[in-house]
């Protein structure tokens, strides 16, 4: 397996001004990606979320790409899956999104899409990394690329989202609260649901460059839960900062995670006779979700955490549905990548056709107690490989016996170590998770001192 110096599991991400997330590196990245991705003469699209630093990195990418002789199209603030869609429809050589997804505004990052709207293959990422190591040389003046802004980009994406919703039904009579996390869906999401007939109340739809994901969105759903109950809404829908995740809140104010939303879509596809293949989840997917799928007669496969691994498995097995509890849901029969708006539409369509409320369908999925503790990691460190941590993990697994499972892993997108424990007994799960997380904290502190 090729070792990556710059690319992580989902592009490049970090704190603005530190490490790789600086204007000079992003300019070089633009030039290097232009050299690799623009060799056939195709244009490259650039979108972004609503972070204040997006202006700076958009300019840096633009400068690097045109210096490599590539023509670009600027999309402005747009959901990440919208950039993937437009990359396909513009027949572009690649799409680039400036975003740090669910992270706070102080972070930013760069994601890439292939001409098909997929994540870049490993070989292409490796080629870009190799090009970064070369000195930047601007093409001759006659060959410098040109930049053009696409003014109707969100309008195109809105129409695509609506096209994935069945023409035979609408959302008339449905009262929704839509939480856009002050992020990239603030223009598109409310309009999609309104145009399909719903009454829409908005939350987190006033970005100022600094408030993305702050106390709103799929990572902070408490405000949405309160608003759904206070407004007497039927449902709440929460996106993350770049629009590739979605969670929901039922009419009682209860949070519904990605596992249960995926169950709704699966049940609907079965009823419509369009289900194909097994559902793909990750190591974080709840065991109760797996058991509920089994009762439907649907197979289930687990892969590593990350939507790219879900998509890879779906393609190999010719499946159509996969996702994570965090709300990355892939409906491969509707979109080429995880798309929060399109996933929400598939859930709403399923509820309409099944004639059931969200809480009624979700009652069919018994979620086992699951505790996730995020331990901050301040430096690159293989915590999981430390002898004390390995011993604590073995002890925790022995304590659980066959009554649950443990997942200990570094985050692929944030400086964290994730400690997840799942089991039948909630008190036991809490105790085991806290003990294991305590050892991880101690070892990180010891390494920092030593």
Residues with a known catalytic role:
101
CATH topology classification for 257-367: Alpha-D-Glucose-1,6-Bisphosphate; Chain A, domain 3 (3.40.120)
Q: What is the pLDDT of residues 325-372, one digit of tens each?
A: 999 999 999 998 999 999 999 999 999 999 999 999 999 999 899 899
3-state secondary structure the chain: CCCCCCCECCEEEEECCCCCCCHHHHHHHHHHHHHHHCCCCCCEEEEECCCCCHHHHHHHHHHHHHHCCCCEEEEEECCHHHHHHHHHHCCCCEEEEECCCCCCCCEEEEEEECCCCCECCHHHHHHHHHHHCCCCCCCCHHHCCCEEECCCHHHHHHHHHHHCCCCCCCCCCCEEEEECCCCCCCCCHHHHHHHCCCEEEEECCCCCCCCCCCCCCCCCCHHHHHHHHHHCCCEEEEECCCCCCEEEECCCCCEECHHHHHHHHHHHHHHHCCCCCCEEEECCCCHHHHHHHHHHCCCEEEECCCHHHHHHHHHHHCCCEEECCCCCEEECCCCCCCCHHHHHHHHHHHHHHHCCCHHHHHCCCCCCCEEEEEEECCCCCCHHHCHHHHHHHHHHHHHHCCCEEEEEEECCCCCEEEEEEEECCHHHHHHHHHHHHHHHHHHHHHHHHC
Q: Please give the pLDDT value at position 3.
A: 64
- Asked if pLDDT for residue 1 goes beyond 50, the answer is no
pLDDT bucket at 400, cuts 50 / 70 / 90: confident
Q: What is the pLDDT of residues 381-395, one digit of tens each?
A: 788 889 999 999 999
Q: Please give the pLDDT value at position 333.
A: 96
Same fold, 12-151 and 257-367: yes
Q: What angle do CA 326, 75, 329 make, to 5 degrees?
A: 20
Q: What is the CATH number of domain 370-449?
A: 3.30.310.50
Q: Please give the pLDDT value at position 9.
A: 73
CATH homologous superfamily of domain 174-256?
Alpha-D-Glucose-1,6-Bisphosphate, subunit A, domain 3 (3.40.120.10)
Average pLDDT over residues 57-70: 98
Domain ranges of the chain: 12-151, 174-256, 257-367, 370-449
Give me the chain's average pLDDT, please.
94
Q: Please give the pLDDT value at position 411.
A: 81
Instruction: Please say whether the beta carbons of 406 and 421 come within 8 A.
Output: yes
pLDDT bucket at 2, cuts 50 / 70 / 90: low
Q: What is the CATH number of domain 12-151?
A: 3.40.120.10
Average pLDDT over residues 171-198: 98
pLDDT bucket at 182, cuts 50 / 70 / 90: very high
Q: Please give the pLDDT value at position 377.
A: 85
pLDDT bucket at 293, cuts 50 / 70 / 90: very high
For a pLDDT cut of 90, what percent of the chain falls above it? 84
């Amino acid at each position: 397996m090729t070792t990556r110096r710059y690319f992580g599991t989902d592009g490049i991400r970090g704190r603005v001004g530190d490490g790789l997330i600086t204007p000079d590196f992003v300019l070089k990245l633009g030039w290097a990606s232009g050299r690799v991705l623009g060799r056939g003469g195709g244009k490259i699209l650039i979108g972004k979320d609503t972070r204040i630093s997006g202006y700076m990195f958009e300019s840096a990418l633009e400068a690097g790409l045109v210096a490599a002789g590539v023509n670009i199209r600027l999309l402005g603030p747009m959901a990440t899956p919208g950039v993937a869609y437009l990359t396909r429809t513009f027949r572009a050589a690649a799409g680039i999104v400036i975003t740090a997804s669910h992270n706070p505004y102080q972070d930013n990052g760069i994601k890439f899409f292939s001409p098909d709207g997929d994540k870049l293959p490993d070989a292409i990422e490796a080629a870009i990394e190799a090009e970064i190591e070369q000195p930047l040389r601007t093409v001759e003046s006659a060959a410098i690329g040109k930049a053009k802004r696409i003014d109707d980009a969100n309008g195109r994406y809105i129409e695509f989202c609506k096209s994935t919703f069945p023409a035979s039904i609408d959302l008339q009579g449905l009262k929704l609260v839509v939480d856009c996390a002050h992020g990239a869906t603030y223009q598109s999401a409310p309009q999609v649901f309104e145009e399909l007939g719903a009454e829409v109340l908005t939350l987190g739809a006033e970005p100022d460059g600094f408030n993305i994901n702050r106390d709103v969105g799929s990572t902070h759903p408490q405000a949405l839960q309160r608003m759904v109950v206070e407004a007497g809404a039927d449902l709440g829908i929460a996106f993350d900062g770049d629009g590739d995740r979605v969670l929901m809140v039922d009419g009682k104010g209860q949070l519904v995670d990605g596992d249960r939303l995926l169950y709704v879509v699966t049940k609907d596809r079965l009823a419509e006779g369009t289900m194909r293949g097994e559902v793909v989840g990750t190591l974080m997917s709840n065991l109760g979700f797996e058991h509920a799928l089994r009762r439907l007669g649907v197979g289930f496969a687990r892969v590593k955490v990350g939507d790219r691994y879900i998509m890879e498995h779906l393609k190999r097995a010719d499946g159509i549905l996969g996702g994570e509890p965090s709300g990355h849901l892939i409906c491969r029969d509707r979109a080429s990548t995880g798309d929060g708006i399109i996933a929400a539409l598939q859930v709403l369509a399923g509820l309409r056709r099944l004639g059931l409320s969200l809480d009624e369908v979700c009652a069919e999925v018994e979620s086992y107690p699951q505790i996730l503790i995020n331990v901050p990691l301040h430096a690159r460190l293989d915590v999981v490989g430390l002898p004390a941590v390995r011993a604590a993990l073995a002890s925790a697994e022995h304590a659980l016996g066959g009554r649950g499972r443990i997942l200990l892993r570094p985050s692929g997108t944030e400086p964290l170590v994730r400690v997840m424990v799942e089991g039948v007994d909630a008190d036991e799960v809490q105790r085991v998770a806290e003990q294991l997380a305590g050892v991880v904290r101690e070892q990180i502190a010891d390494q920092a001192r030593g």
